[in-house]
Amino acid sequence: MTSYTLLSAAKINLYLEIIGSRPDGFHEMAMVMQSVDLCDRITLTKTSMPVRRLNCDHPQVPTDSSNLALKAVDLLTNKFPELANRGVEITIEKNIPVGAGLAGGSGNAAATLIGLNLLWQLGLTQIELEELSAQLGSDIPFCIRGGTAIATGRGEVLDPIPSLTDLYVVLAKYESISVSTPWAYKTYRAEFNHRYTDISNSATLEERQKRVHAGPMVTAIHHKDNVAIGSHLYNDLERVVLPAHEKVMQLRHSMASYGGLGTMMSGSGPTVFTLAATQQAADDIMTKVRTGLPTADLKLWSTRCTATGIRLES
């Protein structure tokens, strides 16, 4: 094959707790990540010349070497110098909003790694791709794996749990508002480091991680108890992002009043999501949000949880 088209799914955080500060400058995290069926479409095409080109239909997405998909190409080429003379053209059709807390860029990098493994016939296993991808971004291993997972460490240490698929999601984002992930973590560190657990002691860290595995969110997922999942949504980053963005705070309050299972901001925001038990319930909530906040700047999606992060387009 000279070309592959892949779909990369967005993710939401059902649970996001910042545990402490790590010696490498990152935060120690405890998260439950969930793929949702809102996807970008990435086409990788072999080129005869050793060039790497990227096109994207979204004005906020860089097409130079700072694009995470091109960084994924560089990551593979640095690891395997014999690939230096291979060329690829990448086309990204963006459906996932940018700077939204939905890991759209990380998903594109994940799709690029999986696609190049096929296109260049590298024969790497999924675990090898996940390990390599962690060098590029903490969310990318999860984007490769997809489904539902507990993520600890920087977010790159994944423990699988049964995938949720029978759970529906309304996503809402103001087009004019984006949040920088580094800003959100930096601000949290400045304001809330008194909440940090001292993770330099490995027994303390292990005990903290065990608490997540045995915690109510993970238990609810094991029992496929959608009502309990909705009531245990949690995100530490709401403490810094919502006060800085009054409109997102109001959006969150309105969405929570429309009868879903639970409402929360995803990742570093500003996307807010509401869980619903059926597609019909999700569609009804979306209509209520649209009617309650009638502005063209507010973009809405009705989607569902999915067990797949990256899939080949059939």
**Is residue 88 near ligand ATP by the rule CB under 6 A?**
no
Least Å distance, CB 314 to ligand ATP, is 23
**Is residue 115 near ligand ATP by the rule CB under 6 A?**
no
Q: How many CB atoms lie within 10 A of CB 37?
A: 17
With CB under 6 A as the contact rule, the residue among 16, 30, 101, 167 that binds ligand ATP is 101
Catalytic option among 94, 139, 173, 288? 139
**Is residue 32 near ligand ATP by the rule CB under 6 A?**
no
Phi and psi of 97, rounded to 5°?
-60, 150
What are the tokens at 228?
């309990």
**How many residues lie near ligand ATP (CB under 6 A)?**
22
With CB under 6 A as the contact rule, the residue among 29, 90, 99, 153 that binds ligand ATP is 99
Span interacting with ligand ATP, options 80-88, 99-107, 148-156, 210-218, rule CB under 6 A:
99-107
Cis bond upstream, residue 97 (ω within 30)? no
What are the tokens at 313?
């387009």
**Is residue 309 near ligand ATP by the rule CB under 6 A?**
no
Q: How many CB atoms lie within 10 A of CB 108?
A: 31
**Is residue 62 near ligand ATP by the rule CB under 6 A?**
yes
Pick from 19, 14, 30: which is nearest to 222 by CA?
14
Cβ atoms of residues 143 and 251 within 8 Å: no
Cβ atoms of residues 172 and 273 within 8 Å: yes
Query: Which amino acid is it at 9?
Result: A
**Is residue 61 near ligand ATP by the rule CB under 6 A?**
yes
With CB under 6 A as the contact rule, the residue among 32, 88, 103, 170 that binds ligand ATP is 103
Span interacting with ligand ATP, options 72-80, 102-110, 145-153, 250-258, rule CB under 6 A:
102-110
Give the N- to C-terminal CA distance of the chain in Å, as an integer. Answer: 14
**Is residue 133 near ligand ATP by the rule CB under 6 A?**
no
For the stretch 193-200, contacts whose Cβ atoms lie closer than 8 Å and that sit 24 or more positions apart, written own/partner, are 193/21, 195/18, 196/18, 196/19, 196/20, 196/21, 197/19, 197/20, 197/28, 198/20, 199/19, 199/20, 199/21, 199/22, 199/28, 200/23
Give SS3 for 175.
coil
Span interacting with ligand ATP, options 54-62, 77-85, 210-218, 303-311, rule CB under 6 A:
54-62
**Is residue 100 near ligand ATP by the rule CB under 6 A?**
yes
Residue number of the CB closest to ligand ATP reads 105
With CB under 6 A as the contact rule, the residue among 7, 9, 68, 237 that binds ligand ATP is 68
Enumerate the H helices of 28-172 as residue ranges. Answer: 68-79, 104-119, 126-133, 140-145
**Is residue 98 near ligand ATP by the rule CB under 6 A?**
yes
* 11 assigned to active site: yes
**Is residue 300 near ligand ATP by the rule CB under 6 A?**
no
With CB under 6 A as the contact rule, the residue among 8, 35, 77, 106 that binds ligand ATP is 106
Span interacting with ligand ATP, options 97-105, 123-131, 156-164, 292-300, rule CB under 6 A:
97-105
* 139 assigned to active site: yes
Identify the burial level of 244 via C-beta atoms within 10 angstroms of its C-beta, where 0-12 means exposed, 13-18 middle and 19 or more buried.
Answer: middle
- Residues forming the site for ligand ATP (CB under 6 A): 60-62, 66-69, 92, 98-106, 108, 139, 181, 267-268
Active-site amino acid positions: 11, 139
